[in-house]
Chains A and B, each alone.
Chain A
Amino acid sequence: MLVNLLSNVSFYLPEIIVIVTMCVLLCFECFYSDDERGRSLSYIIGLIGIFTAFMAVVMNLGTEAKNLFAGAVVIDQFTNIMKMMMLLGTAGCFYLSAQSKEIHERLKAEFLIMSLGVLVGGMLLVSANNLLTVYLGVETLSILSYVMTTMKKDDAHSSEAGIKYALYGGVTAGVMLFGMSHLYGILGSIHFLPMVEAMSDLSATSTVATGISFLLFFVGVGYKIACFPFHMWSPDVYEGSAVPVTAFFSIIPKLAGIAIVTRITMIFFNSGTSLAQAWLALIQIVAALTMFVGNLSALNQESVKRMLAFSSIGHVGMILMGVLVLSNEGQTAILYYSLIYMLMTLSAFYITGVVVNKYGSDERIFFRGLMKNNPILGGCFVIVLFSLAGLPPFGGFIAKYNMISVAVGKGLITLSIIAAINSVISLYYYMKLVRIITLEDSDGKVVFESFNLSGAVYVLAVTAPLILLGIFWNGIYSAYSI
């Protein structure tokens, strides 16, 4: 038993490394003298941790699907790639936080510690294979997120966002737990596979009860990915948080939530029973409404962060389409979309962060003349916005194309057309911003002090792949194929 457990540990190395890094940073933060050197060191420790964890995931690549810890956790290609992207996303957010003026210097190490904590929760959720792990993942993810929201200590909006987030999160977690307890009661297990077996012969009454329990369960994860109708918190939290935190929230919890929705749908509802059909219909409606709500709400936002928040709601709706496909092709499309989405988010929020550092606000008017004042930032933002809208030759197009493609292949024509119409709607508000960046003029020449060489390298490093992945996507797409 013990030997078995220990051999499992080797596959669980990435999570362990992240936890260890978190603990090291926690200790380090207690002792380091509050200066530039100490801060740099903590960033270096954090990045080393992420890098080692990344390498550990790479070592796991290519192994067959494995159930660890008595079936509590599963490791397969999908989880590995998701984890790699989450690690990269976290590393990107580290850079954002290092550059941010919104987060007080003293709190930067805290940002690292808490984001690593959220990351662990996310990684747990991605590979969850029983209800308990799901709950553990969601809660680890959430509780630290509430604290991260309030990182702008002297800002009332930030505190308000934190309270909102915590209240909303608390309620949905409770509802989810309620649903889970019913599932355990009806199906007699908390492990997914025995649950599936139990679901194959249910009485009519139990089927209805199971359906309702799953619905309650969906509330919890739906809130994490901010899909309609559980998206209300997201714009306020995004707007209230510091830019690096917002970027972080739009990557890690979303990817983790998407992963768990995918896994649950694939495991429980791949059977064609009436329950499965009801669940798929639910996701279909949720996906369509999420797209519409996200994109229509984004149309008239003055705050760029808020606009990006709503647009990310729209993107989640797109990704949910891939969930409905119930196949490996669907999962590949989800992974590719997530990768592109992550790159676009990192780039967009970095640029927003530079503007916020300068003006202390992310109103659209502060982006006027960005192209003229700083061609690198302006050009990259234009590319990111076109990519977000899904125009070739950028990565966002390939991501959307593959998503619509697998959906059409599954026969989801109506949903695909809804997705297409939403692309047009989203193009409108992205174009509005493109227009402001390229066509309007700022009052005089503006210099962004916080944008330096490292910033240029960073923003090019996350934007250039958007072009490359839009043209040469054969290799990466085959690598992502499951």
Chain B
Amino acid sequence: MSALLNLILWTPVLGLIAILFMPKGKDQLVRYAAVASTGVTLIFSIFLYLSFDQSVAEMQGVFSVPWVEMFHINYSLGVDGISLPMILLTSLLFCICIFSSWTVEKNVKGYFALLLMLQSSVYGVFMSLDFFLFYVYWEVMLLPMFFLIAIWGGENREYAAVKFFLYTFFGSIIMLVGIIALYYKTGMGPDSFNIIAHHGGHFVNETITLFGHDFSFERVFFWAMFLGFAIKVPVFPFHTWLPHAHVQAPTAISVILAGVLLKMGTYGFLRIAFPIFPAASVEYSTVIAVLGLISILYGAFCAMAQSDVKKLVAYSSVSHMGFVMLGLAAMTTQGMNGAVLQMFNHGTSTAMMFLLIGILYERSHHRWIVRPDGTKGYGGIASHMKTYTVIFTIGMFASLGLPGLSGFWSEALIFLGIFGKFPTITVFAVLGLLIGAAYLLWMYKRMFFGEVNESIKGYSDMNMREILYMLPLCTAVIVFGIYPSPVLNIMKASVGNLVELMGKF
């Protein structure tokens, strides 16, 4: 199993090297190489799923070799019920993104090479069991992301890329100080960089002296970690980079950003902030819940006000990630399971939305629901693009949380989990669902129904390639909407372990 982890982590790098050595002008070959690489990775991920023991809560397939002996930094990988859904999601979305990027014509070689580099570093984040390794992957991810947005993005791409880079870098470097502090607090021993060894609240009674006063070590560094992860999620008020990055990024990158990268933030809470600082997490769970609630409502209202459909979906991500934060803050079995499930489901449904918007954009070259001069950008798509409308409807209802589609389960579980603890917050959070339905349906009405806009008459419906890569996501959204157990079973043991730990504080 540890071999599989290494294979998943390094296959994209092999693909990247292969692409770099390909001669100039062989764009088609580059595309096939990228498909092969992500396809093989996806197959490995499926094998990983098959060999995964769902009854075990601890890390599986742990692989560890020394990297920097003198500081006890190890190259150590492992997978558990929380990271496995994320790894599967990553494999699936990258594979789909390669297909959806078929139409990229600008510097094809560079584009796919960076995409594969991004893929490898995302796996690295989800697999690392060593703090140093985790941090390296967390940061390395920024480089391809920056170039992917800044070179292949929209008109205002450079501003968006720099903003994204600076925000995330700021959060992560504060996190780095926290990692170093942990290293010293644990006595610089063989386990000082071992994430798992820190789990269990060893730092509750520790203190740290700042400005001549003693502070609780646990609280101070919980907030340091919180900052790093909250910017990534993004939680209000750290969300301002997200709409820019999303709107400017090319379609595939928006998909990756919303589908995978945002989950790295909440994954950080689950893997690092909560289990390492459980007392502070429980103590501040109200703050997390309130921030989550603000994200839900604020994101939803912002989405409603958008006239750019991509920006609308971007803000809906803020809102949906707020639900994840709410589920995490509950610290109950239902809430936590709901949160991890929501991470997975939001990954599939939002990926659908961004892909669909990308498909439409390739035809219309604009994204206005309502143009700045007040005229409609689209209208009556339903009567012209039949397949497109069907798939869009599925995606939209999934992200709206309609029963029978995947989004419903995770949101229901989150509400179940949170109600006992924060009833007031739950009441307001449910309002978020309502607003969510409102902005999505309103957008749907303006784009798909009504008078047929002259400009859309020339658009062709989805072609075979587009249908093919939408199909897995549609299936996932529907199947897990009817029967979410396969995903829940993966995470059950590990999440249960975490909930049990949090219950002690």
Interface residue ranges, A against B (CB under 8 Å): 386, 391-393, 397, 401, 404-405, 408-409, 411, 413-414, 416-417, 420-421, 423-424, 427-428, 431-432, 435, 438-439, 473-474, 477-478, 481
The yes or no answer to B18 lying at the interface (CB within 8 A) is no
Verify B209–A427 contact, CB threshold 8 A: no
CA distance A411 to B208 in the complex (A): 8
Chain A residues with CB under 8 Å of B222's CB are: none
Chain B, Cβ-Cβ closest to A423: B173
CA distance A411 to B140 in the complex (A): 28
Verify B162–A424 contact, CB threshold 8 A: no
The yes or no answer to B165 lying at the interface (CB within 8 A) is yes
CA distance A431 to B181 in the complex (A): 28
Q: How far is the CB of A337 from chain B (nearest CB, A)?
A: 15
Chain A, Cβ-Cβ closest to B147: A438
Q: A413-B208, A438-B147 are in contact. Are A420 and B176 (CB under 8 A)?
A: yes
Verify B166–A424 contact, CB threshold 8 A: yes
Verify B147–A391 contact, CB threshold 8 A: no
Verify B184–A409 contact, CB threshold 8 A: yes
Verify A405–B209 contact, CB threshold 8 A: no
Chain B, Cβ-Cβ closest to A473: B68
Q: How far is the CB of A429 from chain B (nearest CB, A)?
A: 11
Verify B209–A431 contact, CB threshold 8 A: no
A interface SS class: helix
Verify A404–B177 contact, CB threshold 8 A: yes
CA distance A435 to B147 in the complex (A): 9
> Can you list the 8 inter-chain pairs with the closest CB atoms, starting with the nearest?
A392-B136, A420-B173, A408-B180, A474-B68, A424-B170, A405-B180, A392-B139, A409-B184
Total A-B Cβ pairs within 8 A = 81
Chain A, Cβ-Cβ closest to B137: A392
Verify A411–B209 contact, CB threshold 8 A: yes
Q: A404-B177, A416-B180, A438-B147 are in contact. Are A391 and B142 (CB under 8 A)?
A: yes
12 additional A-B residue pairs with CB within 8 Å, beyond A408-B180, A411-B209: A393-B140, A397-B136, A405-B183, A408-B177, A417-B174, A420-B174, A420-B176, A423-B173, A431-B162, A439-B158, A477-B68, A481-B70
CA distance A421 to B151 in the complex (A): 27
Chain A residues with CB under 8 Å of B181's CB are: 408, 413
Verify B143–A386 contact, CB threshold 8 A: yes
Tell me which residues from 60 to 93 in chain B have a Cβ below 8 Å from any Cβ of chain A.
67-70
CA distance A435 to B162 in the complex (A): 9
Q: A392-B136, A408-B181, A413-B181 are in contact. Are A435 and B150 (CB under 8 A)?
A: yes
Q: A435-B150, A481-B70 are in contact. Are A404 and B169 (CB under 8 A)?
A: no
Chain A residues with CB under 8 Å of B183's CB are: 405, 408
Chain A residues with CB under 8 Å of B146's CB are: 431
A-B CB contact pairs (8 Å), 16 listed = A391-B139, A392-B140, A401-B180, A404-B176, A404-B177, A409-B180, A413-B177, A414-B210, A423-B169, A427-B169, A428-B162, A431-B146, A435-B150, A438-B151, A478-B69, A481-B70
CA distance A392 to B151 in the complex (A): 21
CA distance A222 to B21 in the complex (A): 49
Chain B: number of interface residues, binned into ranges? 20 to 34
CA distance A432 to B163 in the complex (A): 12
Q: A408-B184, A424-B170, A435-B158 are in contact. Are A413 and B210 (CB under 8 A)?
A: yes
Q: A392-B136, A413-B208 are in contact. Are A420 and B68 (CB under 8 A)?
A: no
Verify A439–B150 contact, CB threshold 8 A: yes
Q: How far is the CB of A213 from chain B (nearest CB, A)?
A: 28
The yes or no answer to B135 lying at the interface (CB within 8 A) is yes
Q: How far is the CB of B222 from chain A (nearest CB, A)?
A: 15
CA distance A477 to B150 in the complex (A): 36
Chain A residues with CB under 8 Å of B136's CB are: 392-393, 397
Verify B165–A431 contact, CB threshold 8 A: yes
Verify B166–A428 contact, CB threshold 8 A: yes
CA distance A428 to B150 in the complex (A): 14
Q: How far is the CB of A170 from chain B (nearest CB, A)?
A: 40
User: Please, what's the 1-or-0 string for B103-146, where 1 marks a CB less than 8 Å from any CB in chain A?
Assistant: 00000000000000000000000000000000110011011001
CB contact between B176 and one of A401, A428, A438 (< 8 Å): that residue: A401
Chain B, Cβ-Cβ closest to A391: B139
Task: Identify which of A414, A416, A421, A432 gathers the most chain B CB atoms within 10 Å of its CB.
Answer: A416
User: Please, what's the 1-or-0 string for B32-72, where 1 marks a CB less than 8 Å from any CB in chain A?
Assistant: 00000000000000000000000000000000000111100
